[in-house]
Amino acid sequence: MVTQAEIARKIRVFMITRGHPYPGQRYRHGWIPVGPVSLAEAKTTAEVAAAATAEAKRLTGRDIPFEFHDDVEPQLAREYSEGVLQGLDRFPDAPLGAVRTADFGAERRDDEFTWAHAVGPGDGRTASGKYEIEFNRKGEASERANEILHMKQARGAYAYGDVKGLALHEFGHVMHEGYGTAGEASDTAWKWAEAKTLAAHPPAPTPPRRPWWRLGRAGTPEASTGPSHDDVRITLMRELSFYAVTNRHELAAEAFADVMVNGDQASDISRQIMGQLEARVRR
């Protein structure tokens, strides 16, 4: 027997997939209250996409379509969407044009498929003219994906340990690339790591120079004036993640995800970089 609740849910799905109501609006079909299906209510991948699209519209006032292949697990699509929507909730003016799953083909990093990437207007692959986030259609199921990401976080590979954090990492790319702040973030992080490394391992004091005829050589060599490049990289790995030292773009995205996922527990440098980004957005 079909319950009234199930009938109401099907009507909501029918209407939202045709672009009618958004959260906050209510329609009535006979005695059944009709409104959008939420992410929590969504049972199929199509419902998840429709609900996420509606919520993005509510947060930003813009049309940002979420498009997932039908063979993507609904829970995985939901977690992708929740991460992106968390980013839009904090940055509704983000230069994001669409979110989707895509076939990545043979694109690999080490021995695993790339999880996701952000593509920009200059890549010639975006129809919206803005940045778009693509998730690998062949990604792991939600439970396994979260297990893998949690393991990688525990080993220091990433600043986050779940699928929502992965989505926020890609959203961080959208923000830093869209606002042109990746270079500034990298410079800030490097100077911070240099100072932190130097404080932990100060150089030995420079001994006084002596005449060459007393030493049998030209003089006493100068002591090192700062930490080595490798030492600074190690500090960033410890304070943020291994992936953060890949390049300036990944460093900025990792710092963004660190703050969005870990809040007050995020690294000090991640919070500094987020502060710079927010100041740039407010200009």
Q: What is the pLDDT of residue 106?
A: 57
Count of Cβ atoms closer than 10 Å to residue 151 Cβ: 12
CB burial class (10 A; 0-12, 13-18, 19+) of residue 267?
buried
Percentage of the chain surpassing pLDDT 70? Answer: 76
Tell me the pTM.
Answer: 0.79
Instruction: Quote the CA–CA distance of 281 and 90 in Å, as a whole number.
Output: 11
The predicted pLDDT at position 7 comes to 63
CB–CB of 235/197 below 8 Å? Answer: yes
pLDDT at residue 230 is higher than 50: yes
> Which is more confidently placed, 111 or 163?
163
Q: How many CA atoms lie within 13 A of 123 on its CB side?
A: 13
Taking the CA atoms of 163, 166, 171 and 174 in sequence, report the sign of the dihedral they define: negative
* Burial class of residue 133, CB neighbours in 10 A (0-12, 13-18, 19+): buried
What are 160's two structure tokens? 């986050």
Q: Average pLDDT in the 232-261 region?
A: 95
Least confident range from 101-115, 124-138, 153-167: namely 101-115
Classify 255 in phi/psi space as left (phi over 0), alpha (psi -120 to 50) or beta: alpha
Side-chain-side CA neighbours of 119 within 13 Å: the count stands at 18
Q: How far is CA 213 from the centre of its chain?
A: 61
Q: Is the pLDDT of residue 192 over 70?
A: yes
pLDDT in tens, 114-144: 789 999 987 767 777 899 999 998 877 899 9
Please give the DSSP secondary-structure letter assigned to residue 39.
T
Q: Are 179 and 93 in contact (CB under 8 A)?
A: no
pLDDT confidence of residue 248: 95
Domain extent listing, the chain: 38-179, 181-283
Query: What would the mean pLDDT of 208-233 be, rounded to a whole number?
Result: 63
pLDDT at position 177: 95
Q: What is the mean pLDDT of the chain?
A: 83
What is residue 278's three-state secondary structure? helix
If we measure between CA atoms, which residue out of 103, 102, 105, 51 comes closest to residue 78? Answer: 51
> How far from 217 is each of 190, 205, 271, 277, CA to CA, in Å?
37, 20, 50, 53
Taken in order 124, 133, 159, 282, the sign of the CA dihedral is positive
Measured CA to CA in angstroms, residue 156 lies from 95, 139, 142, 234, 243 at distances of 30, 21, 21, 11, 8
* pLDDT: which is higher, 19 or 194: 194
The strand pairing partners of 29, in sequence order, are 32
DSSP state, 149?
H
